[in-house]
Chain A
Amino acid sequence: MKKISLRHKFTAYFSFFVIAISLIFGIYFYYRSREILEAQLVSKGIYIARNLAYNAGYGVAFENKEDLSHLVQGAFDEENVAYVFIANCDGKTLAEKYREDATRSAVSGPTEGCPVLDPRISPDVVVDKSQFYNFVAPVKRRQSANIFQIEETQVQKKTIQVGSVKVGLSQKKLNQDLASVFLSSASLALLLIGLGFLGSYSFLKVILEPLEKMTRTAQSIADGDLSQRVSVKSNDETGELAASFNEMARALENRERELTQNYQELEKWNTELEKRVEARTYELIAANRALETANRELEEASRVKSEFLANTSHELRTPLNAILGFLSLIIDGDCASREEEIELLTDARKSGKHLLSLINDILDIAKIEAGKLELRVEEIPVTELFQALQTMCHVQAEQKGLKLSFEGPAPLPSVSADRGRLVQVLVNLIGNALKFTQKGGITVQAIPFAEKGYMQFAVRDTGIGIKLPKENQHSLFESFKQLDGSHTRRYGGTGLGLAISKNLVEMMGGVIHISSDGENCGTTVIFTIPLCARIEESEEMEKIKNGNAVLVVEDDRSLRKYLKELLTKRGFAVISAGTADEAVNKAIEYRPKVVILDYALPWEREAIFKNGGDVLRFLMDAPETKDSEVILITGHDPQILKQRLSFDFLYKTPEILQKPIEPDVLLSKLERIQKDINKVPATVLLTDDDPNVAKFIKMVLPKEKFNLLTAGNGNEALDLISSRGKEIDILLLDLLMPEKGGYEVIRELKLDGKAPDLPIIVITNYPEAQTEEEKRLLSRETILEVVSKYTVFEDPDCIVDKLTKYLLKAVREA
Chain B
Amino acid sequence: MKKRLLLVEDDVMNKKVIKLILERKGDFEVLLSEDPLEIFSLARSNEVDILLVDISLTNSFLDGKEVNGIRISRILKDDPLTSLIPIIITTAHAMKGDCERFLQESGADGYISKPIEDIPRFVGKVNEVLRNSSNRGAS
A→B interface (CB under 8 Å): 309-310, 313-326, 328-329, 332, 334, 344, 347, 350-351, 485-490
Contact = CB atoms under 8 A, between A and B. Distances in A.
24 contacts: A313-B92, A313-B93, A313-B94, A316-B92, A317-B113, A317-B114, A317-B115, A318-B114, A319-B13, A320-B114, A320-B115, A321-B17, A321-B92, A321-B114, A324-B117, A325-B14, A325-B20, A325-B115, A326-B17, A329-B24, A485-B58, A485-B66, A486-B59, A489-B58
Given A322-B14, A324-B116, A326-B17, A317 B58 contact: no
A350 B12 CA distance: 11
B117 A489 contact: no
Interface string B70-106: 0000000000000000000001111100000000000
Contacts of B61: 486
B16 A322 contact: yes
B47 interface: no
B34 to A, nearest CB: 10
Interface of B: 10-14, 16-18, 20-21, 24-25, 56, 58-59, 61, 66, 91-95, 113-117, 119
A344 B14 CA distance: 12
B119 A490 contact: no
Contacts of A329: 17, 20-21, 24
A323 B116 CA distance: 10
B62 to A, nearest CB: 12
Given A320-B115, A321-B116, A489 B95 contact: no
Given A329-B20, A332-B119, A485-B66, A322 B25 contact: no
B119 A310 contact: no
Given A319-B13, A334-B20, A325 B116 contact: yes
A644 to B, nearest CB: 64
Contacts of A347: 13, 16-17
Given A310-B93, A314-B92, A334 B25 contact: yes
Given A313-B93, A316-B92, 20 more contacts: A309-B95, A313-B94, A314-B91, A314-B92, A318-B114, A320-B115, A321-B17, A322-B11, A322-B17, A323-B115, A325-B17, A325-B115, A325-B116, A326-B13, A328-B21, A328-B119, A334-B25, A344-B20, A485-B58, A487-B58
A263 to B, nearest CB: 68
A483 to B, nearest CB: 12
Nearest to B10: A489
A347 B14 CA distance: 10
A351 B20 CA distance: 16
Nearest to B20: A329
> 5 smallest A-B Cβ distances: which pairs?
A325-B17, A317-B92, A322-B13, A321-B115, A321-B114
B129 to A, nearest CB: 19
Contacts of A316: 92
A309 B14 CA distance: 21
B110 to A, nearest CB: 17
